[in-house]
């Protein structure tokens, strides 16, 4: 970790200031999750502020390879990482390499259990189907979406 932080283009600033100030600020961050099968995920962030017990992230772009060998992309303007839960806000967009797309203003991502959920209006599209609703839970490993109060439009080819 220290090698990566001191290597360009990474920058590190440490602060021992009072409450409300981050302990560490990281710029142009790249986080890799590596297993014996290779790189499982990469998270990019323009800036990360580390506080005691949580991290604030800005301009997030996360890529993940699923068990189904699909590539998942999760983008947001802001994020808050507390333990294994990533709370994403402002212009959140989830896409999958098979053309599934999910948009919302706020999404919670359980990193350990691979579950996306939200209690704000969302829009889900895949191929010729568009679904809008008020809340959802998406079990990423199983490919199952549960949603409430939805309206779906299916476009039929002529």
52-100 pLDDT, tens digit each = 889 999 999 988 887 777 888 999 999 999 998 999 999 999 998 888 8
- The token pair at 153 is 């439009």
Nearest C-alpha neighbor of 57 from the set 89, 101, 94:
89
Residue 94, judged by CB atoms within 10 A of its CB (0-12, 13-18, 19+), counts as buried
Query: What kind of fold does domain 2-154 have according to CATH?
Result: lipopolysaccharide transport protein A fold (2.60.450)
Pick from 55, 88, 83: nearest CA to 73: 88
Element (H, E) at 3: helix 2-6
pTM for the structure as a whole: 0.78
- pLDDT average, residue stretch 27-45: 86
- How far apart, in whole angstroms, are the C-alpha atoms of residue 19 and residue 135? 35
What is the H or E stretch that residue 148 is in? strand 144-148
Residue 8 tokens, joined: 């360009």
């Amino acid at each position: 970790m220290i090698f990566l932080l001191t290597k360009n283009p990474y920058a590190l600033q440490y602060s021992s200031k009072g409450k409300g100030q981050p302990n560490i600020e990281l710029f142009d961050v790249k986080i890799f999750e590596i297993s014996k099968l290779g790189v499982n995920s990469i998270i990019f962030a323009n800036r990360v502020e580390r506080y005691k017990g949580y991290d604030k992230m800005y301009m997030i772009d996360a890529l993940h390879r699923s068990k189904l060998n699909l590539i998942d992309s999760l983008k947001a303007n802001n994020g808050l990482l507390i333990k294994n839960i990533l709370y994403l806000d402002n212009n959140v967009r989830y896409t999958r390499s098979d053309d599934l797309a999910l948009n919302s203003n706020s999404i919670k991502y359980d990193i350990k259990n691979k579950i996306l959920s939200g209690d704000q209006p969302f829009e889900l599209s895949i191929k010729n189907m568009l679904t809008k609703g008020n809340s959802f839970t998406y079990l990423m490993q199983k490919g199952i979406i549960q949603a409430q109060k939805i309206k779906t439009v299916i476009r039929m080819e002529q």
